Copies of this chain bind each other. A is one copy, B any other.
């Protein structure tokens, strides 16, 4: 397959500044050199390419938008978005890893933690020396996490937690879990360290998607948490939802990366695969698919860029992020599926990244708010009427 040089049909490169372009090219190279060579192996075996973690840390990809004072890169949101795009061009598992570490672990510590908590955890997490996970979803509470059953009780010197979480990226390998539980009937965040008695995190098996990602259950049986492991500043469902908004922002960008990888593979193949004496890219039915792909990639790029500028200027609304997450993942999935058909029979082989991306995007469509939940979030915003129930 030819080298990837980006997809830029509408001259968007002229809208990025130098640093943004530098982040993109650096991460692109990292993915080409460190991720793509063995990602299909990891996918097949169901393992995460953890050898790449230090390099990701060196690139400043963990907590990338947080301040340098905590060991972070202090990127703007567009640079961060471009990094997520490139990571997901490698595999959704890679971007998911960075999203969890950044948006779901470091962000809540930064936003809701004490200065001590920040100084303790953020540099470790930024450097990749510690890995984090985010425990919100429960087996019976996916789209409405507010119904969670996990409970914290006050003890003399802290809290006792009981309950269980599911679908937790990195749970098994995490050094620290940001766990959400109801304390006095209010949702609160707790930092729970690996090895704490009563806390186990078995890996979930049997996945047909995101196979290069570690997905786990978290089980809490009378787990004692010290008093200073409560995140003091976030209360109520709003606190974890704000983390999800951070993560969704990165997903919206990341989906473009998956779409680009599939489009690139399909365009390449359409140019070289000969049938009936000419490249299949010469057939009208193929061209129609390619044109739809590049149209939707371009539109997704424009959505993300504007979203990033709004985020950097403090004007973004979470419903705008929902719209972009919903649109971009849905379009990426459609693109992956169409790309598969252009590749014909070869499209089912792991020589080509297309079915892996298509399978991954099934998870991405679902996690951090399903397509339907984002429909209803934006729908409420448009009509003023909630229609969730």
Please tell me which one of the listed residues B15, B208, B347, B389 contacts residue A348 in the complex, with CB atoms under 8 A apart.
B208
Judge whether A367 is part of the interface by a CB distance below 8 angstroms: yes
| A276 and B349 contact, CB distance less than 8 A | no
Per the bound structure, the CA–CA distance linking A285 and B284 in Å amounts to 6
Is A69 close to B, CB under 8 A? no
Is A130 in contact with chain B by the CB < 8 A criterion? no
- Give CA–CA (A340, B370) in the complex, Å: 12
Does A294 count as interface, using CB distance less than 8 angstroms?
yes
In the complex, chain A residues 284-313 whose Cβ is within 8 Å of any chain B Cβ: 284-288, 290-291, 294-295, 298-299, 302-303, 306-307, 310
B141, B295, B359: the one contacting A327 at CB < 8 Å is B295
Cβ of A157 under 8 Å from chain B: no
Knowing A276-B389, A383-B270, A388-B276 touch, does A323 contact B359 (C-beta < 8 A)?
A: no
- Chain B CB within 8 A of A365 CB: yes
Known contacts being A10-B320, A367-B345, is A290 close to B362, with CB within 8 Å?
A: no
Chain B residues with Cβ under 8 A from A344's Cβ? Answer: 142-143, 366, 370
A295 nearest in chain B by CB position:
B327
Q: Indicate how many identical chains form the complex.
A: 4
Hey, which chain B residues are within 8 Å of A285, CB to CB? 284-285, 288, 372, 375
> What is the interface of chain A, defined by CB distance below 8 A to chain B?
9-12, 14-15, 40, 137, 140-144, 147, 167, 204, 206-210, 267, 270-271, 274-279, 281-288, 290-291, 294-295, 298-299, 302-303, 306-307, 310, 315, 320, 323, 326-327, 337, 340-341, 344-345, 347-351, 355-356, 359, 362-363, 365-367, 370-372, 375-376, 378-380, 382-385, 387-389
- A-B contacts, 15 of them at CB < 8 A, read A11-B320, A141-B275, A207-B350, A208-B350, A271-B384, A276-B388, A281-B385, A284-B387, A285-B375, A287-B382, A294-B382, A299-B302, A302-B302, A345-B366, A359-B359
- A290-B383, A340-B362, A345-B363 known; 18 new pairs, CB 8 Å cut-off, are A10-B307, A10-B323, A11-B306, A142-B344, A167-B345, A206-B350, A270-B383, A276-B389, A277-B389, A284-B285, A285-B372, A287-B380, A290-B379, A291-B323, A294-B378, A298-B323, A299-B303, A337-B337
